[in-house]
Structure 1
Amino acid sequence: MEFQTKDVKRSFRTFKDYSFDILNSTHRSFKFNLDKFIKHCNNDPIMNNILNPLIVENEYLELDYSEFMAPVGNGHHIILPEDENRRLSVIYYVLIQLKDGNIKILKISQNLFNRQTGTLDYIIEPFLKQIFYQFSRDICNKLNDFLDDHAKEEKISEDKLCIFKDCTFNVNNSRNTVIEINSNEELKNSLEKIAEELKNSNKNQEAINAVIELSKLTESNDVGKIEETINKAIKNENSLKSRLNGLFLNVGSSLAGSVFLEVAKSMLGMS
């Protein structure tokens, strides 16, 4: 798939505009602005292709506030991963949890910044100015760099938009460790997990069925069937190409050379 460069610019501009709206939110307007922002990130095919690898392994995890806080006097100092991609993924995960209602902006602000009193706008302000600002700034810098690199192109391929294709990891206690897949059973389970996440997000049923079928083909030598199934998956769900890229990047050397993996990587432009 290719995108017109002018459409990429428009998508990036909308991301920046919606980020600005969140940064200037009141407590009353925050949820509306966040919903609008996440909807653009999820539903716009350009931004979805860019940001989706940040959430491949981060869904349905418990958020432990203590991991991000260090006592300083009567308050706390916020600790986020030094690695930029990991930091962005942590923040994006939190934003999605806020949007879905799994955590509340007041609670996270009170826990992270120890703001227990004052107006609601005052309580949420440090989350917007310190946490969301980092996410918005760093993503916008990457988008600006990307446009600088491709300014003279009339069209931009989907593959080139995979800015975060090498950063799949878990946001948990071992967040600095890449989860390596070393058996067909682990690969099958990972594909089944993706199918379950697609189902829970009410994604296209054909795409879900294709991923389930892929999970059954991990030991197959049927090149045509593997190609057909991958085509069906990515045709029916825009985000799957980047999600599968992230998954297959973490397959260990013990599975190197398998027919399934070689065909899959070729289909996804990874080899």
Structure 2
Amino acid sequence: MAPSPFFPDRPALVRRLRAAGCVYAEDEAELLIEAADSAAALADLIDRRVAGLPLEHLLGWAEFCGLRVAVDPGVFVPRGRTALLVAAAAAVAGPAPAVLDLCCGSGAAALVLHGRLAPRWLAAADVDPAAVACARRNLAPLGVPVFQGDLFAPVPPPWRGRLDLVVANAPYVPSGAVALMPAEARLHEAPVALDGGPDGLAVLRRVAAGAVEWLAPGGHLAVEVSAGQTEALCAAFGGLGLEPTVVHDEDLDATAVTARRPT
């Protein structure tokens, strides 16, 4: 690490961050120092991080699939494990697909898929106004529209039955388990982005029911879920006539399910 005129005692900063529970204290110290333009600004960042604010909200961005994605306070922070969802979605998408990113949060998935798929049409949607504002900031330079509303409700009707790919990082934490989540998430991210209902699958069932109507024949739905929920989710998908496939990545500790609408 290069010397900092704002905080010369980096080991002390690392120790303070580690004592506050920051697992990657050395990396966080470097990022906080880089983000500050004065000693006062750095002290404020450190104090707020030690108090439990998410690092990404303090920096104003999160790294996701090699990109820096703007993340505003209160907006769901994209997780590293969601890289599996994006990869699984890209793997089932055909050439020049029409793509919708539901429950888009910051728009991170749409941002990555724009570069990987060269879609003929790409849009995102979220029910949370703060998330929509953040996603628009990330996606506007690419000309990707972001709609505000409940799941498919705000999507332009002409796309009903014509989408090739629907990606949804919908909430899947059971309501009773939200209180057990890390404080960074449960205190600083919108509850609507975390709470998946009694068994965690309430929103995903609604996503699947809508996807049956909005996907083109042969189109795919791709969602993230926990490993223990795949059996119930696949049964729900099958009951709707979708053909599910489970994808798991041990290194990322991530699970995704893709589901094809039959032709």
Same fold (TM over 0.5): no
More helix by share: 1
- Structure with the largest fraction of strand: 2
Bigger relative contact order, structure 1 or 2 (CA pairs below 8 A, ≥6 apart): 1
